[in-house]
Amino acid sequence: MVVGKPYLTVEQIQTKNLQLAGRISNDYEGKDLLAVGILKGAFMFFSDIVRLIRVPLVIDFMIASSYMKFDTSGEVKMHYDIMEDVSNKDVLLIEDIVDTGITLNYIRERLLMKGPRSLKICTLLDKKERRQVDVSIDYIGFEIPNEFVVGYGLDYDNKFRNLPYISIFKKTV
Ligand code: IMP
Ligand code: MG
């Protein structure tokens, strides 16, 4: 199994993060932003983007999993839920990638039950072709084809998360 050369370089990711953070900063002016990172995958994107957002915010995390190596198990497990009170908060969920949409849909519904003032979603990557559940996403970094990617937080079997760029992961024969 090999990890190829960058599919999205450090520079491309940084440029995109700046653009997304600019839009988010404008949209959340005068609001009460609670940025929620979905771990583990979003840890790098989350830490980069919150540093670029220019409005006050508080952070929290959720840990959810549905993936078994290459494919989703279809069942979402919640390992850690947010600690912050979301009433009077404008919640922005920050994800690494939306694939089938099953994970995000589950997280979104769970959060909505807590009654936030608003709820929006930001994802770095969107693998639209694979969508099974329709979730509307407010901020999308890159739309990518149906390829398995690793790096910049994304993993295969919990590995390659530390790559600073995003690469297409190929299984060799
Ligand atoms: P979904 O529930 O199918 O949308 O899956 C979302 C989760 O699956 C993401 O948050 C990732 O953790 C993982 N995932 C989906 N596609 C990939 C990929 O290409 N590489 C690594 N992880 C992925
Ligand atoms: Mg994830």
Instruction: Give 96 Cα–ligand 1 centroid separation in angstroms.
Output: 8
Q: Whose CA is nearest to atom 10 of ligand 1?
A: 97
Instruction: Give 99 Cα–ligand 1 centroid separation in angstroms.
Output: 5
Q: Whose CA is nearest to atom 5 of ligand 1?
A: 99
Give the pLDDT of residue 75: 83
Helices (H), 57-139: 102-112
CATH code of the domain in which 33 resides: 3.40.50.2020
Instruction: Give 68 Cα–ligand 1 centroid separation in angstroms.
Output: 10
Residues that are catalytic: 99
The answer to whether the CB of 160 falls within 8 A of the CB of 173 is no
Query: Ligand 1, from 3, 67, 73: best to mutate by most atoms within 8 Å of Cβ?
Result: 67
Q: Report which residue type is found at 6.
A: P
Per-residue pLDDT of the chain (173 residues; tens, 9 = 90+): 567 789 999 999 999 999 999 999 999 999 999 999 999 999 999 999 999 999 999 999 999 988 666 676 778 889 999 999 999 999 999 999 999 999 999 999 999 999 999 999 999 999 999 999 999 999 999 999 999 999 999 999 999 999 999 999 987 65
Phi, psi dihedral angles at 88 (to 5 degrees): 65, 15
Longest dimension (CA), the chain: 54
The dihedral formed by the CA atoms of 18, 132, 129 and 168, expressed in degrees to the nearest 10: 70
Number of domains in the chain: 1
Give the pLDDT of residue 4: 74
Domain of residue 166 covers 2-170
Phi-psi domain of 89 (left: phi exceeds 0; alpha: psi -120 through 50; beta: other)? beta
